Amino acid sequence: MSDSTPLQSGRADNVAPTSQLSGILRRVSGFGDILQRSMGGGDHPLFIQIERIDGPVNAVISGRPTTLFGTNSYLGLNFDPRCIASAEEALRTWGTGSTASRLASGNQIGHANLEQAVADFYQRPDAIVFSTGFMANLGAICGLAGEGDLILYDAFCHASIIDACRTSGATFKPFRHNDAADLDRILGESTFPASRTLVVLEGLYSVWGDVGFVKDIATVAKRHGALVLVDEAHGLGLYGANGRGVTEAQGAEHLVDAIVGTFSKSVGVIGGYCVTVHPALKSLRFLARSYLYTASLPPAVVASARTAIGIIQSEPELREDLWRKAERFCRGASALGYSLRADPGPVGALHMKGLYQGFEFWRELLSRGIYVNLLVPPATPNGEVLLRFSVSAAHQDSDIDLFLSVLRDMAPKAAIA
């Protein structure tokens, strides 16, 4: 491609060799060198460009029609005509952007209506909307915990939670993934008062696709008197009778002090939120710097998110359809001998034997018109190489059967058959 960057093309003509650099530039450039070396020829998971998009799960990549099994569009709502119509209407009426933060001139009636819709959805008194899910974790965690407090987080938590812990000024420490007994031990030995301790976990962990043991962990945290925050980024719209997430599905909502989520996955746009039963939430608007010091969401995004939440709430059949398709795929892949890292669900990971094999496998899938995510260390637990897939309600059964038939052909290469 003539317009590719040096990194994408593997050319480094206008980049000074690392050996001529020092200090910060040497360290940063060294990272780029490693990426270049790892690319070899052909497509690279970090530099895939979608050339055309034909709906929630169809695209053209490297000139080929491709079925997407690596998005977070679990319900296909990013192409729902009702969401698009709301966005179009808001775009025409309110313009392209708010151009300011909520506390300046970026506080529009649409933002307040969206917050009310999120609060009503969770049956909580209030909600606060952020510009991304990352910022929601940053704002909620740093707003709640600070110097003199302790944050205990599940070892598999997302980078936004870890960065929030680092930024908060609180002491922070992981407990073993989904291990309520480990949390119990740490809380029992802690010198911090339980009332100054915040426990953070996720509803659905998207690397393996395993659900968080929200009820067990929140029960332990509550027994000690700690606060609990659950990130339902991936659980929203997928789990629970009303689609509120894994916390709802496990009957644990009464044990949880705050829920954070994102609009960038099942809701199909961008943005984040935090809901809690505590009136203290109102103060987050003044304490959460990622809320205070950034522009509010564009009106079209706000309108579309509100419509999508209404659909998630009122159309459980979308969720049922998603689960039927997810189970069809997971059952099929297991029957072919592939090792899934978790119980069947809309997001999961196929275990690959090694880095080289994972890379080759990912490339061949792409060459056959199937896009998934390749996850490699250090982004994975236990140094695993994983092919992360996600299923969408927007997939046709024929898409799933196509993916399975490609996996059948490739099973010998995965060294599993």
Interacting residue ranges for ligand PMP, rule: CB under 6 A: 132-134, 137, 158, 160, 202, 206, 231, 233-234, 262, 264, 272
Q: Which is nearer to ligand PMP, 139 or 410 (CB)?
A: 139
Q: Which is nearer to ligand PMP, 206 or 304 (CB)?
A: 206
To the nearest whole angstrom, how small is the minimum distance from the Cβ of residue 187 to ligand PMP? 23
> H or E element: which one contains 351?
strand 347-352
Spatial distance between the Cα atoms of 296 and 303, rounded to a whole number of angstroms:
13
The DSSP bridge partners found for residue 211 are 204
Q: Which is nearer to ligand PMP, 159 or 417 (CB)?
A: 159
To the nearest whole angstrom, how small is the minimum distance from the Cβ of residue 84 to ligand PMP? 20
Beta strands, E only, 7-125: 50-53, 58-61, 64-68
Spatial distance between the Cα atoms of 321 and 60, rounded to a whole number of angstroms:
25
CB 102 within 8 A of CB 271: no
Spatial distance between the Cα atoms of 294 and 151, rounded to a whole number of angstroms:
25
DSSP 2: T
Q: Which is nearer to ligand PMP, 132 or 171 (CB)?
A: 132
CB 87 within 8 A of CB 270: no
To the nearest whole angstrom, how small is the minimum distance from the Cβ of residue 259 to ligand PMP? 12
To the nearest whole angstrom, how small is the minimum distance from the Cβ of residue 130 to ligand PMP? 9
Q: Kindly report the CA angle at 113 between 257 and 286, in degrees rounded to 5?
A: 55
Counting every residue, how long is the chain?
417
Spatial distance between the Cα atoms of 360 and 404, rounded to a whole number of angstroms:
18
CB 267 within 8 A of CB 312: yes
51 φ, ψ to 5°? -85, -30
Q: Which is nearer to ligand PMP, 87 or 135 (CB)?
A: 135
To the nearest whole angstrom, how small is the minimum distance from the Cβ of residue 38 to ligand PMP? 22
Q: Which is nearer to ligand PMP, 204 or 350 (CB)?
A: 204
Sign of CA dihedral 41, 46, 51, 57: positive
To the nearest whole angstrom, how small is the minimum distance from the Cβ of residue 264 to ligand PMP? 4
Q: Which is nearer to ligand PMP, 153 or 362 (CB)?
A: 153
Q: Which residue is nearest to ligand PMP (CB)?
A: 133
Spatial distance between the Cα atoms of 120 and 126, rounded to a whole number of angstroms:
8
To the nearest whole angstrom, how small is the minimum distance from the Cβ of residue 231 to ligand PMP? 5
Q: Which is nearer to ligand PMP, 86 or 264 (CB)?
A: 264
Q: Which is nearer to ligand PMP, 272 or 414 (CB)?
A: 272
To the nearest whole angstrom, how small is the minimum distance from the Cβ of residue 159 to ligand PMP? 8
Long-range contacts formed by 184-193: CB under 8 A, 24+ apart: 184/220, 184/223, 184/224, 186/152, 187/152, 187/220, 187/221, 187/224, 187/226, 188/224, 190/150, 192/149, 192/150
To the nearest whole angstrom, how small is the minimum distance from the Cβ of residue 207 to ligand PMP? 9
To the nearest whole angstrom, how small is the minimum distance from the Cβ of residue 132 to ligand PMP? 4
3-state helix, strand, coil in the chain (%, to 5): 45, 15, 35
Spatial distance between the Cα atoms of 294 and 292, rounded to a whole number of angstroms:
6
Q: Which is nearer to ligand PMP, 48 or 194 (CB)?
A: 48
